[in-house]
Chain A
Amino acid sequence: MDLNFTTAEIAFRDEVRRFLRDNLPADLSDRVRSGAELGKAEMERWHAILNAQGWLAVSWPVEFGGTGWGPVQRHIFEEECCLADAPRVVPFGLQMLGPVLIKFATPAQQREYLPRILDGRDWWCQGYSEPGAGSDLASLRTRAVRDGDTYVINGQKTWTTLGQHANRIFCLVRTATEGKPQAGISFILVDLDTPGIEMRPIRLIEGGYEVNEVFFTDVRVPVSRLVGQENQGWTIAKYLLSHERTNIAGIGFSVQAFEQVKALARQVRADGSRLVDDPLFAARLARIEIDLEAMKITNLRMLVDAQKQGAPGAEASMLKIKGTVIRQALGDLARRALGPAAAPFPAEALDGNAALVPPDHARNAMKYFNNRKLSIFGGSNEIQRNILTKTKLGL
């Protein structure tokens, strides 16, 4: 048993740290630390910096412009990025669509789309969920009917994250109604400026706008935009899901959130007291630190397995469940730590003399509410448990 990174991995980590120190703009990391919603330009700026270094597509093979890193290197990179408060890489093009195109698309499609993901000309969003098809994704009803060289698409997608910034959407659509629902689904690429598409924002619980509904009315898409075979969409979606699951534990986010809460609780307040001296709060914090330390090792054990097997197994569901529970618990503490000062909305409106809390913590309550999504999307924690029940328990 050896719990340490290899010499090569440590050298890699140091290289990542150096890179982040020299290249991550302070204004970006300040915004990330404060929990602010980043604008499109800010996200694109960070993508461009990573792309210049060749570190943008961490899960793509080298021949397609990716890093070719294995799971452990990717983990190191992602954790260091979190610890440095780097913006999150927008996953839709890079982590979801890219691997799908590399595995299933024609060489012509790969040449057309992959470079545009890297250099930022395309911003993709994910069109899977529908009002009637959430956990039961295979029941999706958005229809694509073949008409000569085009598909005609009618229906509605929803929950489309950051669709407001996107110019393209990859969709699961129904191309057959016979047989099992899974057998009649296709994976198709759609330009959002095609006539017949309307996108409407959805306001979320904490007041922000990050998801949308997308309506399709007689939207004509060339057949050349189909990825893989007609009715192969479910296989593709499942493959994509497994890629969505490599950094699923979000350890870096939790480590960073833990340090932030600890620092906040150690601050001496106006009346001379400190929150960490309250044994109940300290116990809450300690319990999470213990969970997090265990989680780091669980995550590494599964990463090393994935490194050997090539892809994460069903255990990834455990990482998703436990990882989101820990992140949400940390969000709970960050909100709790502020006492009455957590409640003003929006807190950042109170600045200068009226400031109630340090700027980095002004959005703690909003983040807590927004983070409820972590256990709902990407397969809810109930669905993850169903997966484990079947695959690990055989029940």
Chain B
Amino acid sequence: MDFQPSDDRRMLRDTLTRFLADRYGFEHRNAVAYSEPYHDPGRWAEMAELGVLHALAPEEWGGIGGAGFDIATVFEALGRALCPEPLLGALMAAWILGAAGAGLDSLLSGDTRYALAVDEAGGAQGIESIATFARRNDSGWVLNGRKSVVYGGGSAARLLVAARAGEALGVFLVDSSDAEITRYGMIDGGGAAELYCDNTPAERIVENGESIIRDALDHGALALCAEAVGAMDASAELLLDYLKTRKQFGRAIGEFQVLQHRMVDLMTEIEQARSITVLAASRMGSDGQSRTVSMAKSLIGRVAQQVAEELIQMHGGIAMTWEYPASHYAKRLVMIDHQLGDTDHHLTKVAAEYRG
């Protein structure tokens, strides 16, 4: 048994972490995360040059990684830096394009940004409630329907859209210039979009896509778990540092036992979160993949909220301010539970197996 990362992954982690520290400091992050286009296309290109996107896909598709641990390595570093670049969409799109046998070159080089559009407005979470549908016309396929809160959808040149064609749930490639798109920023930084398809021309790249879509969503959920672990580590460091330096009643607030014990509880929960993410990463590509990813996403949803709330409470007022980084970590940690299924959604999926 060995829980150390391989040399390759350690290098990947160190390179990306250094890049983010040098080129994506907190002030830069806040400057780009909350105003259009809600990320930094220049830094995106630099990250792609480092090979970060290649790390998300296996060699057979032109990448250099693609294992659960590769994905976790990248997203943990992104989470630590609260990086708003739309890598999640690229990751999920890569797993669909790869499975479809389509080319990934322009995705992996960073030249073409992709987003995956699955969720729809006003429905239960999950792919069962997809109503967007595809029809064939003279020149090919057209889509009708609305996709909602498509992360990275505002800056993507191409969108992979899950839509029904008769009984089948397919995946359709839409050029962003052919669709009506409303772009907006998120409360925790970064951007998303509404996508309106009104006889929008599309290319069908997967006919029966249900299991491929689920696989891509599993990879996305794993990435979010790793991102949360990175953000929680950074949060805990901020908080511990503050407990040691903030003085009230003539002593560091970290000397108050009630805060000490809560800090220890947080550390324990963060280790639990790291462990379940490691487990999920290890099961990618195996039979247990989906259920373990759901375990991880459910636990992360719970712990990330606890970390966020304690991060603010134990700091006191200062963590309520925009200027201090803790507030932005707290927002990201809480809002991760609003992406790709929340803690209850995944809990339900984990429990479903008991029914036999």
Contact = CB atoms under 8 A, between A and B. Distances in A.
Contacts of B121: 270, 341, 356
Contacts of B184: 344-345, 349-350
B347 A136 contact: no
B137 interface: no
Interface stretch (A63-71, A113-121, A221-229, A373-381): A373-381
Contact of B148 (A134, A139, A205, A341): A341
A346 B334 CA distance: 16
Interface string A224-260: 0000000000000000000000000000000000000
Interface magnitude class on chain A = 35 or more
A354 interface: yes
A376 B122 CA distance: 35
Interface in B247-288: 247-250, 256, 258-259
Interface in B299-356: 305, 309, 312-313, 316-317, 319-323, 327, 330-331, 334-335, 337-339, 342, 344, 347-348
Kindly name the residue among A284, A344, A366 whose own CB sees the greatest number of chain B CB atoms within 10 A. A344
Interface in A13-60: none
Kindly name the residue among B34, B187, B331 whose own CB sees the greatest number of chain A CB atoms within 10 A. B187
A134 B85 CA distance: 37
A352 to B, nearest CB: 10
Contacts of A205: 312, 319-322, 327, 330-331
B185 A345 contact: yes
A286 interface: no
Nearest to A363: B187
Given A345-B185, A349-B184, A372-B312, A280 B344 contact: yes
Interface in B82-128: 119-125
B155 to A, nearest CB: 15
Given A203-B323, A356-B148, A271 B122 contact: yes
A82 interface: no
7 contacts: A129-B317, A136-B249, A202-B323, A205-B321, A278-B348, A328-B309, A340-B148
Given A159-B317, A339-B342, 5 more contacts: A204-B321, A273-B123, A273-B129, A372-B320, A376-B317
Interface of A: 129, 132, 134-136, 139, 159, 202-207, 269-271, 273, 278, 280-281, 284, 328, 332, 335-336, 338-347, 349-350, 354, 356, 365-366, 368-369, 372-373, 375-377, 380-382, 385
